[in-house]
Amino acid sequence: MWIKFLLSGLIIAFCILLGYLAANKYRARKKFFAQMEAFNGRYLNELSYSRKPLGEFLSAYTYTGDFAKTVESFAKTRQPSFKYSFLTKEEKNECADYFSMLGKGDSFSQSDYFAAKKTYLAEKKAVSEKECKARGSLYLKLGLLAGLAFVILIV
Amino acid sequence: MLEFLPPRIATAVRYINLNLLYELRLRADKPLYANYGGKFVWLGAQGVAASASEAMLISRGEVEDTLFAASGFCVYSVENQIRRGFVTAACGERIGICGTVVYEHGAVHSVRDVTSLCIRIPHEIRGCADSIYRKCLSDEIRSLLILAPPGEGKTTILRDLTRLVSEKTAMNILVVDERGELSAGELGRTADVVRFADKRTAFCEGIRAMRPELIVTDELLREDYAAVRRALVSGIVVFASAHLKRYKDVPEKIFARYVILNGLGEVGEILDKDGSHVD
C-alpha cells in the first residue's frame, strides 16, 4: 500500500517538475528583458553624467544568465550573441540593432536613441513578466493534473 | 601600447623596434608612414620599406576602425576631444584627426569622413630632464618654459622634470594635462592630474581646490598666458612648453627660465627672463 503512495507521489512530483521545466522559456525571457531594461537605464544615466568608456561601463555592473552571456560576448568581440530559443527572430534583430548602436555617436544622439528604446524595453519586460506568471502557473497546474491522471490510470 | 591598431598594421609594427617609433601616419589610400628613430620612413608588411611603392597601403576602413578602436569603441566618451581634433588612447597615444569638420550653431560639432590620423607614441625617458634640473632648478625651483617645434621631446622632458621635482622636493604638483599626453608616464608621488580640461578652467579650479606649489602644463598658446600669470602672481611655480623656436617669439616674458631645445631632446640655449644666457 505504502509503495503505491510513494509511487503516486513520485509520479505527481515528476509531472509537476516537467510542468516547471516547460515554463523555463518564459522565465528566461522575463529575466532577459528585465536585465536589458536595467542595462538601458544604467546606460542612459552614464550618458548623462560621467560618460565612462564603454568597456568600463560594461564591466561595472554584474548581470546574470543569458543577458550576461550577451554582454560578455559583446565586450570581448563587439558581436553580441543571441542564440536563445526564447527570443523571436524579430526580437533577435531588435537586440542586434540595439547593441550595434552602443557607442556609435555623441552623447546627445545616443541619449536620443536609447531613450526611445526605453518604452520598447519596458513593454517587453511587462509582457514577459505577465506571460511568465500566467504560463508558469498554467504549466504547473497541467503538470499536477497530468500526474494525477497517470496515478489514476496506472496506479 | 597601440592596441587599437587594425590587425594588418599591428603586424607590420611588430617588425620594428617600438622604442624608436615616435609617430605613425595613417592616410586613407596612401602608404603607411612613420617617424622611426627621428627619421620618416615608409612601412611595409614586414617593417621598414625601401620606397613608398613597397609600403603598405592603408584603406579608409582601417583609418576609421583605428579611430573607433582608439576611442574605446565609444564616440560619446571622446566627443569633446574629437571636436578639438584629437583623441587620446588608453596608453597616452595622441591621435590627431583630419577629416571633414561638421559645424552646428557656429561651433565644431564633430569630424566625419576621417581620412588621416597622426598617432604620436609617448615614451618615458628617465633622466632626459636631468641637465635641465641641474642647470635651472638645483638651487631653486623656478618657473620655466621649454621651447621647440613639434616632435622634439618637450612633453617627454616635462614629464621627466615633473617626476624629478616630485622625487627631490616632494612639492605638491598639479599637472594640467589638456590632451592626456603628459600623464602617460610616471609623474611622481606628489602629482595630481587634471585631464582634458582647458587650461583656464584647470588652473583656476585647480589652484582653489588642490593648492598646488607647482603647476605643469603643455603646449601654451597665447590665450593661456593669462592663466599662467595668475598662477605666478599667486606664488605658484609653473613649468610649461610652447611650440616656438625663439625666445623673442614668446608673447609674454613671465617665466624665470627659457629652455630652447636644439633637436630631439637636446637642450640648446637656456635663457633668463631678460633673454640673457644662463651658464
Contacts of B109 in chain A (CB under 8 A): 106
Question: What is the pLDDT at residue B41?
Answer: 95
- Smallest Cα distance from A110 to chain B, Å: 8
Contacts of A99 in chain B (CB under 8 A): none
Task: Mutate one of B4, B65, B73, B76 to test the A interface: name it (highest A CB count within 10 A).
Answer: B76
Chain A / chain B CB contacts < 8 angstroms: 36
Is B73 close to A47, i.e. CB distance below 8 A?
no
Reduced to 3 states, what is the DSSP secondary structure of residue A88?
coil
- Scanning every residue of chain B, which has its alpha carbon at the shortest distance from the alpha carbon of A103? B74
Task: Mutate one of A50, A106, A111, A114 to test the B interface: name it (highest B CB count within 10 A).
Answer: A106
Which own/partner pairs from A119-124 qualify as long-range (CB within 8 Å, at least 24 positions apart)? A120/A94, A121/A33, A121/A36, A121/A37, A121/A40, A122/A37, A124/A33, A124/A36, A124/A37, A124/A91
Question: What is the pLDDT at residue B262?
Answer: 87
Phi, psi for residue B118 in degrees, rounded to 5:
-115, 105
C-alpha cell at B77: 566618451
B contact set with A (CB within 8 A) = 71-77, 79, 109-110
Is B77 close to A78, i.e. CB distance below 8 A?
no
CATH class of the domain whose range is B130-272: alpha beta
Question: What is the pLDDT at residue B247?
Answer: 93
Q: What is the Cα–Cα distance from A36 to A48, expressed in whole angstroms?
A: 19
Comparing CB atoms, the residue among A51, A78, A104 nearest residue B77 is A51
Which residue range(s) make up the domain with A66? 27-126
Phi, psi for residue B152 in degrees, rounded to 5:
-110, 10
Residue A10 lies in a domain: no
Residue A18 lies in a domain: no
Is residue B191 a contact partner of residue B177, using CB atoms and an 8 Å limit? no
| H or E segment and range at residue B2 | none
Residue A143 lies in a domain: no
C-alpha cell at B267: 637642450
- Scanning every residue of chain B, which has its alpha carbon at the shortest distance from the alpha carbon of A77? B73
Is residue A38 a contact partner of residue A68, using CB atoms and an 8 Å limit? no
Is A53 close to B79, i.e. CB distance below 8 A?
no
What is the full per-residue pLDDT of chain B (279 aa) written as tens digits?
A: 899 999 999 999 999 999 999 999 999 999 999 999 889 999 999 999 999 999 999 999 999 999 999 999 999 999 999 999 999 998 889 999 999 999 988 999 889 999 999 999 988 889 999 999 999 999 999 999 999 998 888 999 999 999 999 999 999 999 999 999 899 889 999 999 999 999 999 999 999 999 999 999 999 999 999 999 999 999 999 999 999 999 999 999 999 999 999 877 888 899 999 999 986
Q: Is A45 exposed, middle or buried (0-12, 13-18, 19+ CB in 10 A)?
A: exposed
State percent of chain A over pLDDT 90: 77
Residue A116 lies in a domain: yes
Comparing CB atoms, the residue among B74, B79, B110 nearest residue A54 is B74
Query: What's the sign of the alpha-carbon dihedral A38, A44, A48, A49?
Result: positive
Is residue B37 a contact partner of residue B20, using CB atoms and an 8 Å limit? yes
User: Residue A155 pLDDT > 80, yes or no?
Assistant: no
- Scanning every residue of chain A, which has its alpha carbon at the shortest distance from the alpha carbon of B80? A106
Q: A108-126 pLDDT, tens per residue?
A: 999 999 999 999 999 999 9
- Scanning every residue of chain B, which has its alpha carbon at the shortest distance from the alpha carbon of A109? B76
Query: What's the sign of the alpha-carbon dihedral B20, B25, B31, B33?
Result: negative
Residue A22 lies in a domain: no
Contacts of A47 in chain B (CB under 8 A): 76
CATH class of the domain whose range is B7-120: alpha beta
Residue-averaged pLDDT of chain A: 92
Residue A110 lies in a domain: yes
Is residue B131 a contact partner of residue B154, using CB atoms and an 8 Å limit? no
A contact set with B (CB within 8 A) = 47, 51-56, 78, 102-107, 110
C-alpha cell at B276: 640673457
Question: What is the pLDDT at residue A39?
Answer: 96
Q: Please count the structural domains in chain A.
A: 1
Start-to-end CA span in chain B (Å): 39
Residue A48 lies in a domain: yes
Question: What is the pLDDT at residue B279?
Answer: 65
Question: What is the pLDDT at residue A78?
Answer: 87
Comparing CB atoms, the residue among A52, A78, A104 nearest residue B77 is A52
Residue A54 lies in a domain: yes
- Scanning every residue of chain B, which has its alpha carbon at the shortest distance from the alpha carbon of A75? B73
Is residue B118 a contact partner of residue B25, using CB atoms and an 8 Å limit? yes
Q: What is the Cα–Cα distance from B129 to B121, expressed in whole angstroms?
A: 19
Q: Where are the domains of chain B?
A: 7-120, 130-272
Contacts of B79 in chain A (CB under 8 A): 106-107
Contacts of A105 in chain B (CB under 8 A): 75-76
Q: Is A77 exposed, middle or buried (0-12, 13-18, 19+ CB in 10 A)?
A: exposed
